[in-house]
């Protein structure tokens, strides 16, 4: 074979790959992150701007309302006879910290306004001087006539503003104009520029009322919509973009406008780009250095792995490779060592698993001997049962015992399922066998004995619900006790009709602690009289836990519907149990069982004496 000449080694291929992919990915990420951050920042600024506009609108509206509330009682107390403000009005004026000067005008019958009177804070020389400036009051006067409400800061006098409004008097169809000099220091400071937002109180008719010293672009007014508030992106005549929001005051045509320069809003984005670029350069440099080292380590480690793999292929599972790093190649080497070790133990583990499966099969076979035949056929009563474990071994147990004229009916459900629960059912069956050997043992005494046996076996770690009934086949009287088990249903024979829900009677007159829950437990008995043709359905809660392929439980309501349908459609106990099994299996559709399923049906009296309940 001719000598192979390496023109471009694997090491440099890896180096190129390890540096190019991160560089491209980081660059794309930087672009997407910057654009996303920019959009998010704009959205945040819009939200903040709307909040600023809304807050200023509320503050302005509250300020106007408070001024109106302060002026209104003074104006209403004016004495038109003497054309003077009474002493009470002067007192109210002097008590108001916000009112500085007040003028009132009344529109006469000739349509002209007549000056009524004035109030001035004489202690404030600046106010006294301003109150003599007719131009200030004249502008406010005409604005009030047109817009009803008017408020404007005096740029020459910080903290002082002009406030005017119109009162339409329904009594004599006249108009009253009130103009006042008021303290607007709080409102003025709120509209002052805070470094990021420039806010304005604006009237299309009267121009800027309050706001930043920076002139507002009149084009912003074209973005005002018909909604009470909104946002827009504006591009000025100088090419600079800005973000604006507005909120209508709800008084005349006054609106609050807040703007922020796009450059200021996205300043954080510029900082992010610069820092990201520096980080990008540093990361690429670091990636290059690491790639140089990693490519060298990687190629040598891959060569060692290749040689070890060849030995494994020859059947030498004792070979191991040295783990030189904590990266993927080091993980591959460690996985290789783990694989070689696990393969050597595979056969022994397989043998152990086969042994355990054989033992479980033996336990299952032994447990099957604990159950009676599925059917009991007696002229006085018939029993048909069914048991299906959720795993190899189950935690449910049922049985029946015919002793003379007494038929004992047993059913229990141990906690969980599998081998531990199966051991508890074995203990229960052993205790039941002892009870069967004793004469005339009542159900409460039997449960007490079984409780002691199971408690000694499980030490309260595994409990068992249980129901035991003793049926006198001559009289039809059944005495029963319950240890927290789901109560069976007595199915009363309908009068020639179908079985309905009202015919399902749960046997729940007594209840007690689960078997094995306490070392000593007492149980009570109850009695129920059966008539020929009556049936009792016994079951464990595993039926309600059955799930369909969608993971939905069968539930109690669906279970009862299936039970009634099975009884109505079946001609004898065997057919009814088979109907119920088919209905349940149709719902389950071979889905895995969550819990063991146990059920049996008792029919009292001969079959031929029963009235058929056809569908």
pLDDT of residue 357: 66
Provide the 3-class DSSP secondary structure of residue 204.
coil
**pLDDT exceeding 70 applies to what percent of the chain?**
86
Domains plus CATH for the chain? 28-265 (no CATH), 268-344 (no CATH), 372-609 (3.60.40.10)
Helix or strand run (H / E) with residue 295: helix 267-313
pTM of the model: 0.46
pLDDT, residue 553, reads: 93
Please tell me whether residue 593 adopts helix, strand or coil conformation: coil
| The pLDDT value given to residue 296 | 67
pLDDT for 4: 41
The residue among 540, 535, 542, 480 whose CA lies nearest residue 512 is: 480
Are 50 and 229 in contact, with CB atoms under 8 Å apart? yes
Confidence at residue 274, expressed as pLDDT on a 0 to 100 scale: 77
548, 355 Cβ separation under 8 angstroms = no
CA 306 to chain centre: 51
Q: What was the pLDDT predicted at 385?
A: 94
Identify the pLDDT of residue 488. 97
Two structure tokens written together for 441: 């043992």
Q: Is the dihedral of CA 498, 500, 502, 504 positive or negative?
A: positive
The pLDDT value given to residue 367: 65
CB 157 within 8 A of CB 130: yes
Q: What tens digit of pLDDT does each residue of 46-95 get? A: 787 788 888 888 888 888 888 888 888 888 888 877 888 888 888 888 88
CA–CA distances in Å: residue 187 to residues 59, 61, 158, 164:
8, 10, 11, 16
User: Residue 195's pLDDT is what?
Assistant: 65
For the chain, residues with pLDDT lower than 70 are 1-12, 15, 18, 172, 193-195, 213-226, 236-239, 268, 292-298, 344, 347-348, 350-351, 354-368, 496, 608-615
The predicted pLDDT at position 11 comes to 64
Q: Looking at residue 223, what is its pLDDT?
A: 66
What DSSP state is assigned to residue 461? Answer: S
Q: 3-class DSSP state for residue 422?
A: helix
Write the pLDDT tens digit of every residue in 1-41. 344 454 566 666 776 776 788 778 877 877 887 778 777 77
Task: Answer for the pair 236, 218: CB distance below 8 angstroms, yes or no.
Answer: no
Q: Are 399 and 432 in contact (CB under 8 A)?
A: yes
Give the pLDDT confidence score for residue 170 in this predicted structure: 73
490 exposed, middle or buried (CB, 10 Å; 0-12, 13-18, 19+)?
Answer: buried
Residue-by-residue DSSP string for 100-143: EEEEEEEE-TTS-EEEEEEEE-TT-HHHHHHHT-HHHHHHHHHH
Tell me which residue of 485, 590, 595, 486 sits closest to 545, measured CA to CA: 595
Q: What is the pLDDT of residue 297?
A: 62
**Closest C-alpha to 222, from 237, 239, 240:** 237
User: What is the b/e burial string over 278-302, where b = at least 16 CB atoms within 10 angstroms of the residue's CB?
Assistant: eeeeeeeeebeeebeebbeebbebe
Determine contact, residues 233/241, Cβ cutoff 8 Å: yes
| Run of H or E residues at 232 | strand 229-235
Helix axis angle for 419-437 and 328-368, nearest 10°, is 10
pLDDT at 615: 30
């Amino acid at each position: 074979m001719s000598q192979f000449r390496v023109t471009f080694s694997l090491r440099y291929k890896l180096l190129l790959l390890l540096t190019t992919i991160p560089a491209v990915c980081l660059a794309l990420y930087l672009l997407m992150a910057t654009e996303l951050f920019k959009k998010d920042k704009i959205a945040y600024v819009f939200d903040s701007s709307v909040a600023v506009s809304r807050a200023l609108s509320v503050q302005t509206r509250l300020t106007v309302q408070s001024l109106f509330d302060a002026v209104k009682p003074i104006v209403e107390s004016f004495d038109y006879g003497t054309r003077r403000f009474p002493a009470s009005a002067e007192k109210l004026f002097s008590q108001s910290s916000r009112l500085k000067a007040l003028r009132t005008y009344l529109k006469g019958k000739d349509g002209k306004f007549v000056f009524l009177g004035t109030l001035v804070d004489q202690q404030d020389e600046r106010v006294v001087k301003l109150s003599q400036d007719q131009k200030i009051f004249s502008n406010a006067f005409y604005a009030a006539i047109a817009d009803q409400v008017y408020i404007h800061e005096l740029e020459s006098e910080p903290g002082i503003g002009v406030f005017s409004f119109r009162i339409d008097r329904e009594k004599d169809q006249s108009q009253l104009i009130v103009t006042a000099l008021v303290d607007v220091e709080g409102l003025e400071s709120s509209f002052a520029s805070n470094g990021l937002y420039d806010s304005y109180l604006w009237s299309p008719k009267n121009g800027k009322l309050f706001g930043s010293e920076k002139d507002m672009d009149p084009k912003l007014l074209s973005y005002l919509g018909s909604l009470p508030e909104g946002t827009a992106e504006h591009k000025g005549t100088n090419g600079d973009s800005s973000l604006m929001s507005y909120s209508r005051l709800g008084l005349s045509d006054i609106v609050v406008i807040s703007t922020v320069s796009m450059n200021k809003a996205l300043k954080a984005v510029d900082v992010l780009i610069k820092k990201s670029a520096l980080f990008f350069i540093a990361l690429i440099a670091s990636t290059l250095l690491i790639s140089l080292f990693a490519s060298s380590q990687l190629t040598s480690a891959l060569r060692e792995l290749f040689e070890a793999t060849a030995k494994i292929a020859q059947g030498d599972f004792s070979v191991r490779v040295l783990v030189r790093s904590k990266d993927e190649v080091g993980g591959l080497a460690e996985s290789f060592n783990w694989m070689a070790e696990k393969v050597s133990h595979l056969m022994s583990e397989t043998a152990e698993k086969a042994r355990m499966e054989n033992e479980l099969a033996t336990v299952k076979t032994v447990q099957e001997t604990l159950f009676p035949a599925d059917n009991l056929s007696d002229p006085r009563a018939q029993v048909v049962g069914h048991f299906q474990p959720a795993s190899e071994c189950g935690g449910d147990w049922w049985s029946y015992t015919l002793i003379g004229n007494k038929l004992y009916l047993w059913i229990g459900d141990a906690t969980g399922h599998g081998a531990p629960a199966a051991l508890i059912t074995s203990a229960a069956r052993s205790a039941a066998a002892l009870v069967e050997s004793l004469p005339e043992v009542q159900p409460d005494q039997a449960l007490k004995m079984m409780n002691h046996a199971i408690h000694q076996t499980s030490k309260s770690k595994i409990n068992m619900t249980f129901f035991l009934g003793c049926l006198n086949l001559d009289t039809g009287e059944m005495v029963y006790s319950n240890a927290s088990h789901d109560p069976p249903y007595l199915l009363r024979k309908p009068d020639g009709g179908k079985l309905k829900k009202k015919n399902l009677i749960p046997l729940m007159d007594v209840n007690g602690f689960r078997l094995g829950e306490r070392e000593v437990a007492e149980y009570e008995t109850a009695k129920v009289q059966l008539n020929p043709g009556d049936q009792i359905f016994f079951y464990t809660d595993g039926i309600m836990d059955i799930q369909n392929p969608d993971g939905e439980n069968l539930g109690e309501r669906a279970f009862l519907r299936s039970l009634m349908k099975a009884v109505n459609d079946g001609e004898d106990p065997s057919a009814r149990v088979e109907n119920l099994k088919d209905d349940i299996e149709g719902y389950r559709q071979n889905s895995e069982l969550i819990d063991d399923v146990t059920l049996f049906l008792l029919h009292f009296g001969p079959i031929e004496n029963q009235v058929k309940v056809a569908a």
